[in-house]
């Protein structure tokens, strides 16, 4: 047990999918896993373990923002032996060719700072995805009719952003979308020798202000879960 996870040691699989929303963890586990069972609910952060095509998988909420995912990723890797961590979440599109409902696979994650910045100090560390996971996710996505984009994303520390100049810089540097977790997940995984990837569904558009209608959310998010699960066991 850890301060934030009360699962027994063997209750967490080596492969962990991490949506921000604990209720999405419940939905994904009940939809995609065989025999899902609740393994954590400390602070309402639900985690479920089951199997996917016979392979053990945990789907565990990360909460919102890098401090939150940092806590769960650290504990899952160092205390429970997680070896593959895949964020499944939403992002806001920052380019016109990236459309609402598309999937963004984050090769790298740019950020102003992460909780790890205090450890890395003057080092401008480049958080990047695990190559094997990235390659497998792209291969799976290419078999689907989902619009897919692979590249750099922006892991922001704010949802209510008061710096339009920053977004403008990100857009001008080809950033595909903005979310709030991947850079720290990639950094923590790198520090502890785990594999990490972020697969995000575009839920809203910063340029067109379009948003995914609630009735489309489930199907769109499902594509991302399938990509993540297939990548994990490719
Ligand atoms: N900002 C930050 N995170 C997000 C956004 C956004 O616009 N959309 C989805 N996740």
Domains and CATH numbers, the chain: 15-232 (3.40.50.1580)
- Measured CA to CA, the distance from residue 195 to residue 84 in angstroms comes to 5
- Contacts of residue 84, Cβ cutoff 8 Å, sequence gap at least 6: 14, 15, 16, 130, 133, 194, 195, 196, 232
Residue 15 C-beta-side C-alpha neighbours within 13 Å: 19
Which atom of ligand 1 sits closest to the CA of residue 161?
Answer: 1
Supply the pLDDT for residue 215.
79
Supply the pLDDT for residue 214.
79
- Indicate the top mutation candidate among 20, 24, 69, 91 to test ligand 1's pocket, ranked by most ligand atoms within 8 A of CB: 91
In this structure, are residues 31 and 104 in contact, taking their beta carbons and an 8 Å threshold? Answer: no
CA of 159 to the centre of ligand 1 (A): 6
Smallest Cα–Cα separation from 151: which of 94, 75, 81?
A: 94
Contact 204 CB / ligand 1 (< 6 Å): yes
Those residues of the chain that have pLDDT short of 70 are none
Contact 19 CB / ligand 1 (< 6 Å): no
Supply the pLDDT for residue 220.
82
Radius of gyration of the chain (CA): 16
Please report which helix (H) or strand (E) contains residue 179, including its range: strand 177-179
Supply the pLDDT for residue 213.
86
Q: What is the DSSP letter of 2?
A: -
Nearest CA to ligand 1 atom 5: 92
């Amino acid at each position: 047990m850890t301060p934030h996870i009360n699962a027994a040691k063997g209750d967490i699989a080596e492969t962990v999918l991490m949506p921000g929303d604990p209720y999405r963890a419940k939905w994904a586990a009940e939809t995609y896993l065989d025999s899902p069972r609740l393994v954590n609910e400390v602070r309402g952060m639900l985690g479920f373990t089951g199997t996917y095509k016979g392979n053990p998988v945990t789907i565990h909420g990360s909460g919102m923002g890098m401090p939150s995912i940092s806590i769960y990723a650290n504990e899952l890797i160092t205390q429970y032996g997680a070896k593959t961590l895949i964020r499944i979440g939403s992002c806001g599109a920052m380019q016109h060719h990236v459309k609402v409902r598309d999937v963004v696979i984050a090769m790298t994650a740019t950020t102003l700072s992460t909780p790890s910045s205090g450890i890395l100090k003057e080092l401008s560390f480049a958080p990047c995805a695990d190559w094997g996971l990235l390659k497998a996710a792209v291969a799976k996505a290419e078999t689907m009719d989902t619009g897919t984009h692979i590249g750099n994303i922006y892991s922001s520390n704010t949802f209510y952003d008061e710096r339009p100049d920053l977004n403008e810089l990100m857009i001008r540097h080809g950033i595909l979308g903005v979310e709030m977790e991947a850079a720290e997940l990639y950094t923590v995984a790198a520090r502890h020798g785990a594999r990490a990837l972020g697969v995000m569904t575009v839920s809203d558009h910063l340029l067109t202000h379009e948003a995914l209608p609630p009735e489309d959310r489930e199907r769109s998010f499902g594509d991302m879960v399938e990509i993540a699960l297939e990548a994990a066991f490719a």
